[in-house]
Amino acid sequence: MPFDATPIIDDAKSLGELDGAVLGFLDGLAVCESRNLRPIPPWHASLHPERMAGTLRVLVRARELIGDEQRWCRRTYARGWRGIPVPVQSAAAHRFCALGAIMRAGGELSVPIDDAHSALEWQTIRPVQDWNDDPARTHRDVLAVFDASIVAIERSGASRGSGSGVFSRR
């Protein structure tokens, strides 16, 4: 047990040990232009591998939730099919804003969303809900920011310790 009394955990999982859906999704990501991709800050890259894996899972699931433009919305976290605002975890919720999708994904996966929210906000450079609700914002812009966040986390994990990090491909 380390000096801070934190229990020692098993070896970190490599990206190859994560769910196959996550791997398939990462392979299908559009190539993000490096000028639009902001690297994840050191404070996030130094997180425990399990937290980084959880962040990645939440972002991937949130992107899946709003992958179809009909499943994306503005001005509320979630809406039912008739456009009426509903709670994010409601069974009636079928459309989500960027932050609402993160909240729903975190609930479905039972994973904290703070790191995923921060990673997305790091790419938008302003509060996610304000950025999402901007009238000039398009669905394509939202997906591109999710892709950039996922790629940035993937890269920050792969750069940890010569490929032995949580996101290294073996």
* 170 falls within a domain: no
Does residue 152 form part of some domain?
A: yes
> What pLDDT, on a 0 to 100 scale, did the predictor assign at position 79?
99
The predicted structure's pLDDT at residue 139: 98
Query: What's the confidence (pLDDT) of residue 169?
Result: 35
Q: Note whether residue 119 is domain-resident.
A: yes
Distance between CA 141 and CA 18 in Å, rounded? 27
Partnered with residue 85 across adjacent β-strands are 79
Q: Is residue 28, in this structure, part of any structural domain at all? A: no
User: Is the CB of residue 85 less than 8 Å from the CB of residue 79?
Assistant: yes
**Position 11 in a domain:** no
Does 5 map to a domain?
no
Query: Which residue, chain included where needed, has tokens 């792969």?
Result: 158
Whether residue 169 lies inside any domain: the answer is no
Q: What is the reported pLDDT for 50? A: 86
At residue 22, the pLDDT reads 52
Helix, strand, or coil (residue 96): strand
- Domain of 109 in residue numbering reads as 40-158
User: Using CA atoms, how far apart are residues 46 and 68, in angstroms rounded to an integer?
Assistant: 33
Number of domains in the chain: 1
pLDDT value of position 166: 40
Which regions of the chain are under pLDDT 70?
1-35, 43-46, 158-170
pLDDT at position 142 is: 98
What CA–CA distance (Å, rounded) separates 156 from 147?
14
Unique residue bearing structure tokens 């079928």 = 94
The whole-number pLDDT of residue 37 equals 81
Q: What is the pLDDT of residues 138-168, one digit of tens each?
A: 999 999 999 999 999 988 876 554 343 344 3
pLDDT at residue 165, rounded to an integer: 39
Choose among 67, 161, 156: nearest CA to 119: 156
